[in-house]
């Protein structure tokens, strides 16, 4: 029985709750691992999505080379759990507060960290001599990273600072728009190929050429890329559905929410607002998530504790007190706001997994 079908959630849930379909999760983990294996590219999933030691354990069991994280706090949680190979894919600035944490982490795991400036490299070198770094390349998202032509300057600064330049990485976040993933994946590959060529010419020996996001990973997974870092693929979400990264049958996580009020105009109000669902709503998705069992209604706006669902005249809608399965827009935000996952298989409750790295955002 699908989680998304009417009656697909286990009975007796205390809502709002994050419910994971274990069989679909396993299928998603296996499929992406297999795709990357066939492409000859290492899989280094971004653990900021799930923040879960149990999901990380399963990713490793499917052959993940290590994990990607965004913060030292996330890295500490996974290192404590025995993950011994971590990439902080972020231009970490080694402030006085972060330097000792970084050093302690580098002593206990194989670690690399992102860098995109000479100043950042100098601070990392002071904090942690000999640390492995990857220079971040901007492949079109225009968030962080330098142009391919400017990587040698950053790499030279890193070398002068006593760091070891292990490679380059990029995040093609401009793939987050309709029809954009294939082109953004190609941009990732092209920008990394250009950057790697500049560095090789300058005498650097690169072990790592790292790309990826869930929408672009399948498009950029070919030489010279050596690893991909998708994060959302274990669960997927409404954004990924809109981008074509998955089908509705792949969605492995829903927010279970109860209809707490029915307005005179027929609107339903759910007990999941922005404190559960996050606020992400790009212009290219229909609402604040999807209710697959009720395709004609739209979660239209959120209060902190209220999810207000518009119900057009004549549309079939859930009843007062009914528990519905909502596919959230951006699962990373939803997980970051939750304490635990309720895990089900074949409609029955099989366990509860903590969100181990919840709020470890520094």
Residues that bind ligand PLP (CB under 6 A): 46, 68, 89, 171, 212-214, 229-232
Supply the minimum distance, in Å, between the C-beta of residue 329 and ligand PLP: 12
Shortest Cβ 16–ligand PLP spacing (Å): 22
| Closer by beta carbon to ligand PLP, 271 or else 280 | 280
Whose Cβ is closer to ligand PLP: residue 171's or residue 204's?
171
CB of 147 to ligand PLP, least distance (A): 17
CB of 212 to ligand PLP, least distance (A): 6
Closest by CA position to 80, among listed 358, 357, 362 = 357
Q: Residue 316: exposed, middle, or buried by beta-carbon count in 10 A (0-12, 13-18, 19+)?
A: exposed
Q: Which is nearer to ligand PLP, 240 or 342 (CB)?
A: 240
Classify residue 137 by its DSSP letter.
Answer: B
The Cβ of residue 169 has, within 10 Å, a number of other Cβ atoms equal to: 32
Question: HEC states along 288-356?
Answer: CCECCCCCCCEEEEECCCCEEEECCCCCCCCCCCCEEEEECCCHHHHHHCCCEEEEEECCEEEEEEECC
Minimum Å gap between C-beta 226 and ligand PLP is: 15
Nearer to ligand PLP, 112 or 229 (CB): 229
Minimum CB–partner distance for residue 71 and ligand PLP (Å): 11
CB-nearer residue toward ligand PLP: 213 or 218 = 213
Query: Could you tell me which residues come within 8 angstroms of residue 27 by beta carbon, excluding any fewer than 6 positions away?
Result: 250, 252
Calculate the alpha carbon distances from 122 to 87, 127, 170, 212 in Å: 19, 9, 21, 27
Distance of alpha carbon 166 from the chain centroid:
23
| C-beta closer to ligand PLP: residue 230 or 287 | 230
Task: Give the C-alpha separation, 250 to 235, whole Å.
Answer: 8
**Beta carbon of residue 89, minimum distance to ligand PLP (angstroms, whole number):** 4
User: Which of 191, 232 has the CB closer to ligand PLP?
Assistant: 232
Q: Which helix (H) or strand (E) holds 24?
A: helix 22-39
Q: Which is nearer to ligand PLP, 277 or 308 (CB)?
A: 277
Yes or no: say if 18 and 338 are a contact pair by the CB < 8 Å rule.
Answer: yes
Q: Do 48 and 70 meet the contact criterion of CB atoms below 8 Å apart? A: yes
Q: How far is the CB of 137 from ligand PLP (least distance, A)?
A: 11
Select from 189, 196, 131, 141 the least CA-distant residue to 168: 196
How many helices (H) and strands (E) in the chain? 11, 16
Nearer to ligand PLP, 125 or 145 (CB): 145
Q: How far is the CB of 230 from ligand PLP (least distance, A)?
A: 4
């Amino acid at each position: 029985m699908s989680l998304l079908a009417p009656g697909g959630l286990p009975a007796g849930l205390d809502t709002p709750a994050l419910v994971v379909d274990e069989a679909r999760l396993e299928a998603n983990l296996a499929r992406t691992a297999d795709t990357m294996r066939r492409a000859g590219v290492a899989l280094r999933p971004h653990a900021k999505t799930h923040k879960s030691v149990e999901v990380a354990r399963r990713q490793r069991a499917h052959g993940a080379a290590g994990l990607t994280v965004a913060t030292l706090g996330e890295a500490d949680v996974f290192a404590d759990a025995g993950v011994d190979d971590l990439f902080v894919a972020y231009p970490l600035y080694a402030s006085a507060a972060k330097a000792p944490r970084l050093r302690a982490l580098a002593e206990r795991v194989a670690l690399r960290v992102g860098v995109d400036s000479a100043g950042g490299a100098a601070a990392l070198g002071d904090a942690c001599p000999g640390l492995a770094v990857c220079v971040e390349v901007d492949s079109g998202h225009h968030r962080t990273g330098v142009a391919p032509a400017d990587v040698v300057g950053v790499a030279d600064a890193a070398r002068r600072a006593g760091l070891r330049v292990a490679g380059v990485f990029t995040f093609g976040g401009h793939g987050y728009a309709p029809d954009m993933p294939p082109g953004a994946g190609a941009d990732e590959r092209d920008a990394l190929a250009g950057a790697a060529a500049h560095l090789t010419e300058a005498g650097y020996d690169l072990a790592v050429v790292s790309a990826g996001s869930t929408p672009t990973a399948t498009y950029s997974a070919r030489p010279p890329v050596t690893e991909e870092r998708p994060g959302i693929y274990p669960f997927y979400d409404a954004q990924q559905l809109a981008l074509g990264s998955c089908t509705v049958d792949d969605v492995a996580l829903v927010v279970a929410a109860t209809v707490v009020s029915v307005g005179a105009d027929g609107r339903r109000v759910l007990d999941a607002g922005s404190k559960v669902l996050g606020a992400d709503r790009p212009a290219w998705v229909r609402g604040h998530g999807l209710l697959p069992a009720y395709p004609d209604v739209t979660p239209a706006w959120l209060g902190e504790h209220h999810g207000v669902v518009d119900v057009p005249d004549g549309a079939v809608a859930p009843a007062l007190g009914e528990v519905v399965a909502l596919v959230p827009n951006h699962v990373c935000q939803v997980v970051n706001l939750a304490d635990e996952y309720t895990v089900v298989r074949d409609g029955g409750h099989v366990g509860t997994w903590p969100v181990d790295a919840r709020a470890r955002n520094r």
